[in-house]
Structure 1
Amino acid sequence: MRQRRQHRHILLGTAAFAISALALSGCAGGEVSEDEGTAVSEAEFEGRGPINYVSSRDASGAAQDSLDKWNSEHPDEQVTLIELPDSADQQRQQLIQNAQIESDTFSVLNLDVVWTSEFAANRWIEPLPEDALPTDRMIPATVDAASYRDTLYGAPYYTDGALLYYRTDLLEAAGIDSPPATWDEMEAACDAILALPEGEGVSCYAGQFDKNEALTVNFTEAVASAGGAVFDEEGNPTVDSPEALAGLTQLSDAFTDDLVPSDAITYLEEQGRRAFQDGEVVFLRNWPFVYSSLTATDGSSEVLDKFGVSSVPGIGDNPGVSTLGGRNLAISPFTTNKATALDFIKFFTSEEESRARLDKSSRAPVYAALLEDPAVVEQRPFYPTLLESLENAQPRPKVVQYGATTTAIQEEAYAALTGDKDPEAALADMQAKLEELSAE
C-alpha cells in the first residue's frame, strides 16, 4: 500500500510576505560570498530526520510519485511537500523571505536555474559535493546553470529549452511544408493561413508577455535570436545595441501588427498553452511541459494530432536561440537534517527517477542519454529537437542582483510592448538601469 501523501499547501498573501525592495534585489539578508572553487565533502552534511521540500506546484503528480517512493522507504526521514504559488516572482519572494529570517521551515529548495547564483552569493543555499552527483552524465549547460564561481550549489533537476509549437493542419492547408525558421517566414505563413477559411478567428502567435519573469525570458530570447546579448561575457549590460533593438522591435511590432491575440499582453505560460490548445493561435512559443496537455486524449485538446514542434525562429538572418530554463534543487543552510536533504536530492534527481517521471510529466530530464533514448523518444518525439535547442541555448543573466535586474528588464520591455515607450527609448532606459545595478 502506498504511504499516505504528505503534502502541505502554503497560501501566502502578498501583503503578509512582502519584503523590501532591497531584499528582493538580492543585496540584503545574506553575506555575498567571494569564495571560488569551494570544495565540500559529503561527510560535512549531518543530521537525519524529517525535511520539507518546497517547490512550485506539482500539476502532473510526477514529483509526488517520487516523494511517495522515498517516504515508503524512509519512514524516519519523511519528506513533506510545500507548494508555492504559480508565479515565479512570488515563489522567489517567499524563498528569500524564509532565508532572510533564517527559518528552518524550508529544507530542500526547488530553484529556477537563474536564481542559483543569487542564492549562492547570498549564502542562502549550501555548496554541494560534486562527487555525490553524476554531473558527468548531465547536459553541460545544466551543470553550469547549477554552479556559481566554479562551485556546484544546485543539483540539476530538469531542464527547459524553448520550442515553437505549430499547427501542421493549417500549414498544410496553406501549402507550407515546413515550419518557419525565422520570424519573417512565420509572418508570411500566417498571412497565407489567415486568408483561408480555416484561418478565420485564429491569431498568428503567442508567447509570454505579462510583466513577469516570463517576459524577461521572452525578451532575452528575442535579443539572442537577433544576434545580441543582454550582458557581455564580462558582465556588462549591452542592450544599447542594434541587435537588442531588432529583438525588442520584433516583439513590439507583433502587437502593433496584430500578430498576437489582443489579450496576449497578459499571457504567461498557461494562458499561451490554453490559447494554442483551444485552436486560437497558429504558433506558440512555450516550454516542453505543455506537450502532455496538447496530446491529451480526453477531448480537452483541439490540436491533438494537428501540431508539430520545432526550434524557435530567428530574427533576420540569425538562428533562433532559446533561453535556458529549468530547475535546480538546493539545500538551505538553516535546515537541521542536511544529511537527509542531500540523500533526498541524490535520489530525486537520479537518472532512474527522472526516467520514471516521464510517464506523467513532459519536464525534460537533464540526462542527455534520456533525450536520445529510442524508447523515450518514441514517447516524447520532440526530444531530439529539444536537445538541439539546449545545445544552442543561452542563460538569462547570471548576476547576484538578479531580482533588480529582471525587474528593470520587465519594466522597460513591457513599456515597449504596450506602446508606452518606443523600443529605442525603452532600451536606453533599460541600459541606464542595468549599468547602475552593475556599478553597485
Structure 2
Amino acid sequence: MNRARKGAVVGTAVALVCSVAAGCGSAGGGSNTANAAQSGGAKPIDTAHAKGTIVWATPPITQTGLPETMVKAFEQSHPNIKVKLQLQDNNTDTNRASLTTAIGGGSNTPDVYLGDVVWPAQFAANQLAKPLTGLVPNSFWNRFADGLVQGATYHGKVYAAPFFVDTAFLFYRKDLLAKAGLSVPKTWEDVQKDAQILQKKGLVKYGFVWQGASYEGLLCDFDEYLADAGGQVLDKDGKPAIDSAAAKKALTFMRGLITSGVTPKSVVQFTEQESQNVFTEGNAAFIRNWSYAWPNSQDPKASKVVGKVGVTALPSFNGGTGYSTIGGWDLYVNPHTKNLPAALAFIDWMTGKQAQSILAKQFSEIPTNKQVQNDPSVKQKSPIFSIVPKVKYVSRPAQNPNYPAIAKAVYSNVNAALAGSVSTDKALANAAKQIQSALGGNGGL
C-alpha cells in the first residue's frame, strides 16, 4: 500500500484470521517453521568473508533517515561491504512496477530490495525473488516472531526475510474525550457516536478519518470491517465470497460514516498521508492508521497534537478487540545478484538484534526479531509495543499470484460505493465478478 512514505498469508483464501504479527500464527504460540520450507539446511551465513558493494532498493518508508541510519550501522559492522541506496517511489504499486521491470529484464541490481509482505507469491511465481531456503541455515528462521516465516513462504520455499511488521490501530484525541466526558470507544458504533458528540460540541471539525482512496490502503481498511462482520473476500477454496451479508454490513457502515458527516466526503481521496495530515493538524478526533502514526503525532515539528493523543487496538462491532490488517515489509534478494554472500550478510544483520533494536527504539517500528520484541527496554519506547500482543490480525489475499488484480477489484468497487457512484449491493456484485475474472486469468504482475 502507499504507506504515505508507506505498506499475508492465507492459503488461496483471503482474510484468514490470524493472531500474529505478519502472517499466520499466534503471538503466544505456534511454530515459525513451514515444514517444506525448512526441509533443506545450509551452512551458517559467512559474514566474515563477504565483501564488495551491493545495492539496496527501498522506498522512503517510515520516518526520515531510517534507510540511511541502517546502512551506516551495517557498514560499521561490516567494513568490507558497502551499500548503495536506491530510493524507490513511496507508492507501493509504482515501486512494484519499477522492480518488476528491472529484475524481470535481467538486471543484477538492486541486489536486495524491500518489498511489501503481500509480494512473496507474486514475485516467486514470476521469478523476481531468489528463494532463501537452502541458502541460510534452518536456525536462521528461529529468530522471527511466530508466523512471519510462513508469511514469506510460497509453494514450500521462503522467498523473503521479515524486516518489520505493521498493523493498524485507532488513534484518538484523549484531551477531547476528557472534555466531553467520554471514554475510549469499544465498538465501531461508539466511534461514530462519540465522533458526532465531539463535532456537535464544536470541539473538532471531523470525527473520524481513514484511508478511502482507490488503492491498496482501502482494501486494508475494508478487510478489517469485513472480518469483524464475519466475512472474507475469498472462501477456503479460493472462490469469491465478497458478495455477502457480512460484506454488505461492513460497506454500509463505512458509507454511513460519510453520509452522517462523521467522515469527510473527501476521504474517498485519502491515503495514509492525507488522513494523517488532518489528524496531526488537530482537525479529527479519531484516525485509523498504521503504527508510524504514533511517532508522527508526537513530533513537535510536524504535529499540533503532541501529548494529546491516545492509541488502542481497533474496536469491533460487538465490543472487544476488532481485526487489524497485517502489514509490513520484507527483504528480498534479486535472483540475478552478482554478490550473493554480501546480500545474505546484509539480510542477516538487518534481521538481527542490533538492527531490529534500532528499528524499534529509534523509529518505533514493530520488530520481527522475537528477542527484540520481548525486550523490556523496547516495550518502554512506545505504547504501540504493549498493544501489539492484544491485536487480532486479518490477512489479505496475498498468497495468490493474481493478488494485484484481486486487490484492485476490491478497492476500486468499495471506493465507488463510498463515493456514492454505485450502491453497496452493486459494488459487491461487481467486485465478485472481477475477482472471478482475475482468478481465471493473468491478473498478477
Fold shared per TM-score above 0.5: yes
After TM superposition, the structure 1 stretch with the greater mean CA deviation from structure 2, 183-192 or 63-72, is: 63-72
Correspondence for 2:203 among 198, 201, 204: 198
Cα shift readout 1:312-356 (whole Å, capped 9, x = no counterpart): 122356851111000110101011111111111011121221102
- 1:44 and 1:173 map into 2 onto residues whose CA distance is 57
Cα RMSD after superposing both structures: 2.3
Q: Is the 8 A contact 2:397 2:403 kept in 1?
A: no
Deviation at 1:431?
A: 0.6
Deviation at 1:239?
A: 0.1
Correspondence for 1:107 among 94, 108, 111: 111
Structure 2, unpaired ranges of 5+: 1-35
Q: Which residue of 1 aligns with 2:310?
A: 308
Structure 1, unpaired ranges of 5+: 1-34
- 1:147 and 1:271 map into 2 onto residues whose CA distance is 33
Task: Give the partner amino acid of 2:369.
Answer: Y
Q: Which residue of 1 aligns with 2:153?
A: 147
Counterpart check, 1:60 vs 2:64: yes
Task: Give the partner amino acid of 2:421.
Answer: D
- 1:37 and 1:221 map into 2 onto residues whose CA distance is 31
- 2:394 and 2:169 map into 1 onto residues whose CA distance is 11
- 2:377 and 2:320 map into 1 onto residues whose CA distance is 33
Correspondence for 2:332 among 319, 330, 336: 330
3-state SS of paired residue (2:56):
strand
Q: Which residue of 2 aligns with 1:41?
A: 42
Deviation at 1:263?
A: 2.3
- 2:45 and 2:279 map into 1 onto residues whose CA distance is 49
- 2:271 and 2:52 map into 1 onto residues whose CA distance is 38
Task: Give the partner amino acid of 2:431.
Answer: M
Q: Is the 8 A contact 2:45 2:345 kept in 1?
A: no
Q: Which residue of 2 aligns with 1:183?
A: 188
Q: Which residue of 1 aligns with 2:175?
A: 169
- 2:173 and 2:67 map into 1 onto residues whose CA distance is 30
3-state SS of paired residue (1:125):
coil
- 2:327 and 2:120 map into 1 onto residues whose CA distance is 12
After TM superposition, the structure 1 stretch with the greater mean CA deviation from structure 2, 348-357 or 324-333, is: 348-357
- 1:69 and 1:318 map into 2 onto residues whose CA distance is 41
Cα shift readout 1:51-76 (whole Å, capped 9, x = no counterpart): 11011115431331221122244444
- 1:38 and 1:50 map into 2 onto residues whose CA distance is 31
Q: Relative to structure 1, is the Cα distance of residues 394 and 274 closer, same or farther in structure 2, using a 3 angstrom cutoff?
A: same
What is the TM-score of this pair, normalised by structure 2?
A: 0.84
Q: Which residue of 1 aligns with 2:260?
A: 257
Structure 1 stretches (4+) deviating beyond 6 angstroms? 35-38, 43-47
Q: Which residue of 2 aligns with 1:3?
A: none
Q: Is the 8 A contact 1:112 1:327 kept in 2?
A: yes
Q: Is the 8 A contact 1:60 1:360 kept in 2?
A: no
- 2:422 and 2:288 map into 1 onto residues whose CA distance is 24
Q: Which residue of 1 aligns with 2:26?
A: none
- 1:397 and 1:158 map into 2 onto residues whose CA distance is 17
Deviation at 1:261?
A: 2.2
